[in-house]
């Protein structure tokens, strides 16, 4: 649901009915048993357990906003513009993206950590957060990297603000070196 900009807690399953019918007994989790949920929904039109009604309502709003924005083409174009704005802005600060542009998806961008003796992810993260922006704390490699998302209710102004915050923190780090 992230690219639909909905809340966590909902998921989609696209499956051939024949595969679903053959899946009985395959799940080792009561809560995640798709076959049992499907059978119960067919019999009762209800979820097996109390549904997260607030999540369902919020997800309904997220789908309406997605359609109002123009669907996949418009949402994808906004994310792509966010991604380009982010990569270009970070490059001006001396930060290089981990992936080449040809294979970079417009969802989340991994950057090499700043080349500074004062850099630690925690201090960098905390300083950027103090500016009102949250970096993604996970990293994918053993190399020092950090990640920034391009999706969500963000436009060019939000991305530019994040780049500005990172630039301010980098300047402070370099001045302290």
Per-residue pLDDT of the chain (177 residues; tens, 9 = 90+): 678 898 888 878 899 999 999 999 999 998 889 999 999 999 999 999 988 899 999 999 999 999 999 999 999 999 999 999 999 999 999 999 999 989 999 999 999 998 888 888 999 999 999 999 999 877 777 888 999 999 999 999 999 999 999 999 999 988 776
124 in the same domain as 146: yes
Tokens representing residue 99 in the block: 């992936």
Report the pLDDT value the prediction gives residue 117, as an integer from 0 to 100. 82
Do 102 and 152 sit in the same domain of this protein?
Answer: yes
Please provide the DSSP assignment of 48-82 as one string. Answer: SS---HHHHHHHHHHHHHHHHHTHHHHHHHHHHHH
Whole-angstrom Cα distance, residue 31 to residue 88? 44
Residue 115: the pLDDT is 83
Total domain count, the chain: 2
d(CA 10, CA 100) in angstroms, rounded, equals 32
Residues 115, 95, single domain; the answer is yes
Q: Report the pLDDT value the prediction gives residue 87, as an integer from 0 to 100.
A: 98
- Does one domain contain both 53 and 104? no
Which pLDDT does position 177 carry in this prediction? 61
Question: Quick one: 20 and 98 in the same domain?
Answer: no
Q: Does this model's pTM top 0.75?
A: yes
95 and 35 within one domain: no
Beta strand 145-149 with 108-112 is: antiparallel
The verdict on 63 and 89 lying in the same domain is: no
Last residue of a domain, one of 20, 40, 69: 69
Q: Are residues 62 and 116 in the same domain?
A: no
Which burial class, exposed, middle or buried, applies to 57 when counting CB atoms under 10 A from its CB (0-12, 13-18, 19+)?
exposed
Do 64 and 78 share a structural domain? no
Torsion-angle region of 160 (φ positive above 0: left; ψ -120 to 50: alpha; else: beta): alpha
The answer on 96 and 61 residing in a single domain is no
Q: Which domain holds residue 86?
A: 71-176
Considering the domain architecture, whether residues 166 and 113 belong to the same structural domain is answered as yes
């Amino acid at each position: 649901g992230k690219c639909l900009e909905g809340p966590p807690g909902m998921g989609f399953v696209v499956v051939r009915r024949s595969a679903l019918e053959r899946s009985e007994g395959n799940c080792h989790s009561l809560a995640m048993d798709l076959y049992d949920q499907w059978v119960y929904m067919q019999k009762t039109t209800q979820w097996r357990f109390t549904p997260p009604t607030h999540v369902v309502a919020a997800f309904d709003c997220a789908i309406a906003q997605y359609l109002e924005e123009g669907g996949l083409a418009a949402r994808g174009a906004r994310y792509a513009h966010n991604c380009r704005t982010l990569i270009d802005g970070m490059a001006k600060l001396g930060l290089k993206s981990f992936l080449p542009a040809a294979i970079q998806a417009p969802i989340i961008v991994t950057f090499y950590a700043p080349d500074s003796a004062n850099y630690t992810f925690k201090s960098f993260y905390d300083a950027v957060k103090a500016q009102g922006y949250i970096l993604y704390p996970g990293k994918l490699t053993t190399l020092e990297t950090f990640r920034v998302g391009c999706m969500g209710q963000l436009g060019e102004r939000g991305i530019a603000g994040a780049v500005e915050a990172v630039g301010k923190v980098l300047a402070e780090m370099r001045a302290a070196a």
